[in-house]
Structure 1
Amino acid sequence: MREQRGFTLVEVVVALTVMSLLVLATLTAVRTLGDTHARVEATTQRLDEMRLVSQFLRNSLRQAVPVRTQTRPGGYILGGRDELSWIAPLQGVEGVAGLQYKRLFLEGETLKIQFVPYHPALESPDWAVAKAHPLLDDVSEFNVAFRGKAQEPWLEQWDEQEALVPQVVKLQLRVRERYWPDLVVAPDLFQAAF
């Protein structure tokens, strides 16, 4: 009679341990790959949001039109530390196009923008009745600064007392506890100076 030989208990335990370690390593690698993909996706989404908002604001401020009004002979760009108003063209937001008064401001933790159609007889729009469009969420800081000439210091206020339109506008944003790069824009009419 031939002896039948099988695996010993120790061999079975060692084989199961090695196989368990291989399965655990594979599952850990798959989970790490999934987490990395989610982080890359979130970072990409944040960067896309930053790019789109920055591009929109840069284009709009660059196209600012120095429209003179009775109280603003130098042109309509107003603002303070956390608010900015200007006149620029707008292309097709909610069926509205053409020259618009625009107002950018922080309400709670949402950066919002308002549009009111420009009319030569309208000295200043009534922002209280204008619809506010959310532009960016989770904003903890929003600062605006102005520079009248190339070598002058940054000003936190630009109002009716200023004789001219600022040559440069700087926006600083802190979104989701991260600072965005400063958005520094010179309207087209002053680009040659910088």
Structure 2
Amino acid sequence: MFHCHGFTLVEVLIALALLSLLMLVLSGALRAMGQTEERVEQRVAAADDYRAAVQLLNDVLGRVSARRYASLQAGTPQQQPFFQAAPDTLAWIGVMPARYGLGGRHYLRLAVEPGPDGDGQLVLRYAPWSGAPTFDAWPQAQARVLAAPVQSLALRYQEPASGGWSPVWPPPGVPLNTLPSTLLPGAVALQIDGAQPAWPPLVVPLRATRTSDPSAQGGSFGGGAR
């Protein structure tokens, strides 16, 4: 006759302990896989945002209005485009791509502004062009955040004749008669610090519009495909 013996209490406790350890290891592995997948998705989304921002910058700087307006600023030509170029901000008249639901000529400004949490963010502001030679109501203009958080934005402008770079435009000490006929730089270099993921230095060729600016003169500068 055979007798069936069950597990002892010690054996059951050992089995439960081993099962608990196995479940703990499996849950940790699953949690790590989930976190890795989330980080990958965040990096992919950040890369997509970067590509979209760079494409937008190429588009809006690729069609800059060279239409000239009367200027009262000393030391500048009597007629010049609306192109306010400083070391950390740039304002101009350009064409917004139609794929953003806007299209047409707009006043545009690129600058770092405080975000809702206090961190800086790279913002492109835009407002429909009214025909006026200047625009100052930037707080009321629409905004598109291109990168955040951002600590600083450094801009430089290329003088096509010499290939040199200046933090302002027109370059100090450069005779006006040596500037391009459009009175615009050939390219804009952007250095953005603090963005996540980090932005490499970016150089965007600047092209002056022609068909929409019959008053503009001369050819376009900057070279390269957009």
TM-score range relative to shorter protein: 0.7 to 0.9
Shift of 1:124: 1.4
Name the residue aligned to 1:125. Answer: 135
Q: Percent identity?
A: 29
Amino acid at match of 1:77: F
Cα distance in structure 1, aligned partners of 2:106 and 2:58: 16
Name the residue aligned to 2:125. Answer: 114
Cα distance in structure 2, aligned partners of 1:35 and 1:115: 38
Shift of 1:90: 2.1
Amino acid at match of 1:16: L
Gap runs ≥5 in structure 2: 72-76, 115-119, 208-219
Name the residue aligned to 2:55. Answer: 55
Shift of 1:34: 1.2
Correspondences of 1:1-194 after superposition (within 5 Å): 3-71=3-71, 73=79, 75-91=81-97, 96-108=102-114, 109-120=120-131, 122-128=132-138, 130-136=140-146, 137-149=148-160, 152-159=163-170, 163=179, 164-176=183-195, 178-188=197-207, 189-192=220-223
Aligned positions, number:
193
Query: Which deviations, in whole Å up to 9, do the C-alpha atoms of 1:122-149 show, x marking residues without a partner?
Result: 2212335642414244222212111112
Gap runs ≥5 in structure 1: none
In the superposition, the TM-score normalised over structure 1's length comes to 0.81
Q: Which protein is richer in strand relative to its size? A: 1
Q: 1:3 to 1:116 in 2, by over 3 A?
A: closer
Cα distance in structure 1, aligned partners of 2:161 and 2:11: 80
Amino acid at match of 1:22: L
Q: 1:3 to 1:178 in 2, by over 3 A?
A: closer
Cα distance in structure 2, aligned partners of 1:145 and 1:187: 12
Query: Which deviations, in whole Å up to 9, do the C-alpha atoms of 1:130-188 show, x marking residues without a partner?
Result: 42414244222212111112753321111497642110101222344553122211123
Amino acid at match of 1:125: F
Shift of 1:89: 1.3
Cα distance in structure 2, aligned partners of 1:154 and 1:90: 26
